[in-house]
Structure 1
Amino acid sequence: MARCRCRSRSWPSSWCGASRWTAPPRPASPAASRGPEPMRARHRHTLRRNDIMRSLLRHARGILLAVAALFALSGCSQMNVKDFAGATPHFRLETYFAGHTRAWGMFEDRFGTLRRQFVVDIDGTWNGTELILDERFRYTDGETDRRVWTIRPDGPNGYVGRAGDVLGEARGAAYGNALNWTYRMNLAIGGREVEVRFDDWMFLSEDGVLLNRATVTKFGIELGTATIFFQKDPVPADGTASPPSAETARQSPATPPVTASR
C-alpha cells in the first residue's frame, strides 16, 4: 500500500491527498463549550474569594497588633518598689500626710490629650493606728468631689486602704522614697461608670514635694494617666501654728508649683 509522508507521519495514501489534506479540528475546551456566561461567573467567584482572603488577612493583622500591644504593656509595668529601698528621703504615708496638704493634678488619656485639671485639699489625721485622709477635689470645669481614705499599716512596709468609691481594698508598700499600691474603682467615663484599675506610684523629693503618677487600665489596656504634685503647708519656725483646715485652704488662691511645660 502506498504511503504518504504528510506532517512527518506515515499515512496510507487513501487517507491523505497532499492537495486536500487538512489538520483535524481540535476538540473544544470545556470552558469554551459552556459559553461566555460561565466564564464570567467563574471570574466573579475568584474575585469574591480574593476579597475574603484579604479581609481575613486584615483581621489577622489587627489581632496580632492587639496581642503585641498587650505584651508591650505588660513589659512596661515591671518596676519594683523594693528597688528604691536605699533612696532618700524615706517616705511614710502617716508622716507625710498628717496635717494639711495641697495638690495640683491633671488627667491625660492614652493619646496624651489633657482631659481634666484639678486642685485637691487634703486633711490627714493619724491616731497611731489609722490614717484618715479627707480629700476635696475642685476641677477647672467647676465640678467638685470628695473622697475619704482610711489607711492602716500592714507590716513594716505594707499599707491597706479603703475608700467609698474603691472596690475592695487598696494594697501596696513603701520602700525608701517610693510607694506603690493598686486598687480598683468605678470611674465616670463618657457618662457611665466603668470599673478600672489604678497602678499608683508616689516619689518623695528632697524639697518635700511628692510626685504621684497613676496609670489607669481596663482589661490590661491603658486608658490614661493621672499626674499629681503634693506640697505640704509651710510650718512657722516657732511651731505654734497648726495646719489650716480644708475650708481655709479652699479660700486661698491655688498656686501650683512650677513644672515643665508640655
Structure 2
Amino acid sequence: MKNIINKFAAVIFCTSFLLGCAGPKVSQYSNEKPTLDLSEYFAGTIDAYGIFTDRSGVVVKRFTVLIQANWKVVDGKKVGTLDESFDYSDGTKQKRIWTLTEVSPGKYIGKADDVVGEANGSSSGNALNWAYTLALPVDGTIYHVQFDDWMYLVTPKVMINKAQMSKFGINLGEVTLSFYKR
C-alpha cells in the first residue's frame, strides 16, 4: 500500500510540475503596445536576420530573409502572402511562401508548402503565437518538427521572433529572428 501511495504522490508531483511549467498565453500581452496588426506589419518589404541554436545554445546557422508581403480581402477575410527568400551562412538558399488568413479577430491560419497541415496563430497586444509542424530537410531526410513560434512587436518597424523547435516533445533548438520593416 505504501508503494502505491508513493507512486500516486510522484504522479501528482510530476503533473503539478509540468502544469507549472506551461508557457505563456498570448492573452497576457493584451495591454502591451504597440499593438501588432499582421496585415499592417507584414505589408511591403521586411528584412529579417536570424540564428539557429542547437539545444545546448551553440549557433549552428546564421541567415537573412527578404520578405515581400501583401494583403487582400477574400470573401470578407484578410488574406496575406509572405514571399520569403532565405540566405544561409553556409551558402544555401531557401524559398517559403506563406498564405495567412485572419479567420477571426486575432486568430490566424497559415499555409506553406513545407508546413504539414496548417499553422494556427493567435495575437493579442504586441504578441503573436504560432504553432505548426514543419517538414525540415536534413541531410537528404525530411523530419517533421514542431514549432512554438512567438513574435513580439517592439516598435512599429521592429519585431523579435523566438521559436522553439521540438520532436516528440524533445527540444531540438531555437530560432531567433529580428524583423525590420522598411
- Does the alignment reach a TM-score above 0.5? yes
Task: Note the alpha carbon deviations across 1:36-68, whole angstroms, 9 max, x for none.
Answer: xxxxxxxxxxxxxxxxxxxxxxxxxxxxxxxx9
* 1:1-26 deviation line (CA, Å, top 9, x unaligned): xxxxxxxxxxxxxxxxxxxxxxxxxx
Is residue 83 of structure 2 the alignment partner of residue 138 of structure 1? Answer: no
1:239-254 maps to which residues of 2 (within 5 A)?
A: none
- Identify which of 218, 223, 232 aligns with 2:172: 223
2-side partners of 1:149 and 1:173: how far apart?
16
Alignment pair present for 1:118 and 2:67:
no
Alignment partner of 1:85 is 2:30: yes
Distance verdict in 2 for CA 1:136–1:70, change over 3 Å: farther
Give 1:210's aligned residue. Answer: 159
Provide the C-alpha distance between the structure 2 equivalents of 1:188 and 1:157, rounded to a whole number of angstroms.
31
Q: Kindly provide the CA deviation profile for residues 128-181 of structure 1, in whole angstroms up to 9, marking residues without a partner as x.
A: 331000000001111000000000102111001100000000001110000001
Once the two structures are TM-superposed, the CA of residue 215 in structure 1 deviates from its matched residue by 0.3
1:182 equivalent to 2:131? Answer yes
Partner residue in 2 for 1:6: none
Q: Kindly tell me: are residues 156 and 136 of structure 1, through their superposed partners in 2, closer, same or farther at Cα, counting changes over 3 Å?
A: same
1:192-212 CA-partner distances (Å, limit 9, x unpaired):
221110000000013621000
- TM-score for the superposition, normalised by structure 2: 0.85
Distance 1:69 1:212 in 2: 30
| 2-structure distance, mates of 1:170, 1:78 | 18
Aligned residues: 166
CA contact (8 A) 1:73 1:220 kept: no
Q: Distance in 2 between matches of 1:184 and 1:228?
A: 18
Q: Please give the alpha-carbon distance, in whole angstroms, between the structure 2 residues aligned to 1:86 and 1:124.
A: 27
Q: Which has the higher strand share?
A: 2
Extract structure 1 runs of 4+ deviating beyond 6 A: 68-74
2:152 and 2:161 in contact (8 A); partners too: yes
Residues 1:111 and 1:130: Cα distance change in structure 2 (over 3 Å): same
Structure 1 stretch 199-208 or stretch 154-163: which is displaced more? 199-208
Q: CA deviation at 1:77?
A: 4.0
Q: Secondary structure at the match of 1:127?
A: strand
> By how many angstroms is 1:187 displaced?
1.3
Amino acid aligned to 1:224: G
Deviations 1:78-133 (A, max 9, x none): 21000000110000111101000000000000011110000000000111331000
Once superposed, what is the RMSD of the aligned Cα atoms?
2.1
TM-score normalized with structure 1 length = 0.60
> Which blocks of at least 5 consecutive residues in structure 1 are unaligned?
1-67, 234-262
Deviation at 1:73, TM superposition (A): 7.2
Alignment match of 1:150 (pick from 93, 99, 111): 99
Give 2:8's aligned residue. Answer: none
Counterpart AA for 1:81: V
Alignment match, 1:103: 48
